Amino acid sequence: MTSSWLQLSLRTDPSVLDAVSNFLIERGSPGVLIKKNEVQAYFPHAGDSAVIRRDVQRFLRGIHSVCPEVQAARIQWRILRNRNWNSTWRRFFSPQKVGRALIVAPPWVKLGRLHGRHLITIEPGMAFGTGTHTTTRGCMEFIETVHRALEGEEFTALDVGTGSGILAIALAKLGAARVWALDNDPVALKVARENFHLNAVAGRVFLYRSNLSAVRRSFSVVLANLTAESILNLAAPLAARVGAKGFLVLSGILRPQGEQVLRRFRSNGFRLIQRKDEKEWVTLLLKRR
């Protein structure tokens, strides 16, 4: 049982509240309360909260760089002790149907008939990817689109910045023969490894603590659910990892940056297959010409 919790109170422009709250949920908060111009989020407190604080500040700087008209957020952190959250926090997570082929559920939920869907079991925790965020869902929907386009053909995949491993698991569930999953965050690596075993895909998903530059082979499908800045910085190696007639799925892109990312990859030999705009976010499905 968690004996203390880290509470974040963040006051900002109402126009970005949704993006901020989604980020905090994906970053590991089991519950977020949204008020008129404030978000309150809670994190299990394990003594060292420096990483969470750093990630929140980095995300807010990213929003401000894209939307400079948004005033700087006011942030307050405090530790809440001796409150029993164990019986309440799990209600924030329920099974999520994604597309026509997938359903994501936490391990404590017992599902009946899946009606042809593939089950992905994810333990909400300190890594991106519980299936609730727009960018995660967009990537999973495009994985399903690619699966249908390949018409049963065996394929390989690369997941750059795997986080919780949810996208790598989706690739394996939908037929990838081998998936390489990359991340540099030790917390994400630990969570992803546990989720791969939980979903019985560890034999087909290979987890690496390395940079994209260390990868030399090409893949049928490459995914990068990062930020627009990271995607642009990695544009050349991402493009190089996509095989002939291969697919590239990009997300984590705020709307004002969508055209810039698209132009960069068009100049690298890709054409747009499908674009998904939802809330503040853009997800792109590209194919090598």
Q: Tell me the pLDDT tens digit for each residue of 103-126.
A: 998 888 888 888 889 999 987 664
> Mind listing the pLDDT tens digit for each residue in 62-85?
888 887 887 788 999 988 775 555
pLDDT in tens, 17-34: 878 887 887 777 766 777
pLDDT at residue 240 in the model: 97
Q: What is the pTM of this model?
A: 0.77
Percent of the chain with pLDDT over 90: 50
Residue 221: predicted pLDDT = 98
Residue 19 identity? A
Question: Would you state the pLDDT for residue 47?
Answer: 59
Mean pLDDT of 205-215: 92
Strand 205-208, strand 219-225: pairing: unpaired
Question: Which residues, 6+ apart, have CB-to-CB distance to 25 below 8 Å?
Answer: 32, 41, 92, 130, 132, 133
Reply yes or no on whether the pLDDT at 144 is more than 60: yes
Per residue in 265-280, pLDDT (tens digit) is 999 999 999 999 987 8
Write the pLDDT tens digit of every residue in 213-253: 899 999 999 999 998 999 999 999 999 999 999 999 999 99
Task: Decide if pLDDT at 198 tops 90.
Answer: yes
Confidence check: pLDDT of 148 > 90:
yes
Distance from C-alpha of 52 to C-alpha of 10, rounded to nearest angstrom: 14
pLDDT of residue 125: 60
- The pLDDT of 122-140, averaged and rounded, is 76
- Please report the pLDDT score of residue 130 as a whole number: 67
Amino acid at 228: A
**Tokens 């929140």 found at:** 56
- What does the mean pLDDT of the chain come to? 87
Q: What is the pLDDT of residue 91?
A: 63
Neighbours of 54 (CB within 10 A): 10
According to DSSP, residue 216 is labeled -
Helices (H), 130-286: 134-150, 166-173, 186-198, 228-233, 235-240, 258-266
- CA 246, CA 289: separation in Å to the nearest integer? 9
What is the pLDDT, as a whole number, of residue 120? Answer: 94
Q: Give the type of residue at 174.
A: L
